[in-house]
Amino acid sequence: MKTILRKRWLLGGLLSLCATLLGATASAAVQADVAYAWTPNQATLYGGYNAIAARISSHHAISNTVHANSGTDVYWRIAGYYQISTDNSNGAGWWLDSLASGTDCANFRTFADGRGADVIFLCCPYTDSAGLAYQGGTQATCGRDSVQWELFSHEIGHTYTATHEAGMCAGTQGGTIMAACNGKNIPYYSNPNIVVGGVTIGDSTHNNTANVYNYRSTQATRKSAISGVTFFKDTNYVGSMSALLPQGSYTLSQLQAVGIANDDASSCTIPSGWTVTIYQNDNYGGTVWTLYPDANGGQSNFPGYTGLNDNMSSVWIH
């Protein structure tokens, strides 16, 4: 029987911290792919598809900072975004069950499987809980007004077997990400080797960094790795999204056939070990840009390359 973990808490912003790290960190994080979805209600609440995708992208990045701060040796890559068609006032338990096996989320699960997502996360309109997840599972959710880094780090942390730890506070600054202290949280999992604000944020019985670390490989190998490149209309992997493109060469007409307009792409995700060569003109002409996976998940923003943003007309993926 699966264990469901609930969290009711007040959420605060990311604090400016002075931290002393006493433990060594891993040189290369173990990557897992997370697919995010939301309901129409949530899209409306946050300003539409692009707005909620952009919010998820920025708060997802803070969640990766939580891992880097804590020494979990984990990095989460965004596998893609999806808007489901269902909206209702059911509670958190109904939504989590639906995400796991219900027909309402079946298309999202198919989408996530196609993109190699190891974990799936759904932003829901429920109000009876801030978030809900399966302990050691692959599904997590957040409720209305809770699309933010604390919930991503906390609920997806549950899927890595992280447990609740009420009272794990760092002085007056707040509680570790699996705790709820003073109505705010610091961007750390508990770790007896880390000091924040003069307080050691873990002990022999509170070490969620170890829990996440020990489960990292299990979670990262749930699904096969992403087997293609995805282009996005906007920076930070938001906006309209192309189909997964396998290795090969693509002229402008071939790009348009998979939803990529001329001179319109601004970011892409690149599988580990792959290279993306982008051409300014159709038929592989004009200025050439060569993109590689970055060190933390194979994601590339085009404005980082001089002249590339909104300037792709053909591409070679190899």
Q: For the segment 238-275, what is each residue's pLDDT rounded down to a tens digit?
A: 788 888 898 899 999 999 998 899 999 999 888 777 88
> Could you give the CA distance from residue 279 to residue 163 in angstroms, rounded to a whole number?
48
Express as a percent the part of the chain with pLDDT over 90: 58
Q: Which of 181, 207, 205, 179 is nearest to 193 (CA)?
A: 207
pLDDT tens digit string along 17-41?
A: 333 333 333 346 888 989 999 999 9
CB 163 within 8 A of CB 176: no
| Nearest residue to 75 via CA among 60, 55, 90, 53 | 60
Q: List the end-to-end C-alpha distance of the chain, in Å, as a whole number.
A: 44
Distance CA 279, CA 296 (A): 25
CA–CA separation, 261 and 12 (whole Å): 39
- Which contacts of 233-236 are long-range, i.e. CB under 8 A and separated by 24 or more positions? 233/261, 233/264, 233/265, 233/266, 234/50, 234/54, 234/266, 234/267, 235/266, 235/267, 235/301, 235/302, 235/303, 235/309, 236/54, 236/57, 236/58, 236/267, 236/301
Q: Is 182 left (phi over 0), alpha (psi -120 to 50) or beta?
A: left
Average of per-residue pLDDT across 126-138: 96
For residue 154, give the amino acid letter. Answer: H
> Average pLDDT of 284-288?
93
Task: Measure Cα distances from 300 to 75, 114, 133, 275, 286 in Å.
Answer: 15, 21, 30, 11, 21
Highest mean pLDDT among 50-54, 60-64, 139-143: 139-143
The residue-averaged pLDDT of 118-125 equals: 97
Secondary structure class of 202 (helix, strand, coil): coil
AA letter at 271: P
CB 132 within 8 A of CB 4: yes
Average pLDDT rounded to a whole number, residues 180-203: 87
Question: Would you tell me how many other CB atoms lie within 10 Å of the CB of residue 82?
Answer: 22
| pLDDT for residue 10 | 33
Q: What is the pTM of this model?
A: 0.76
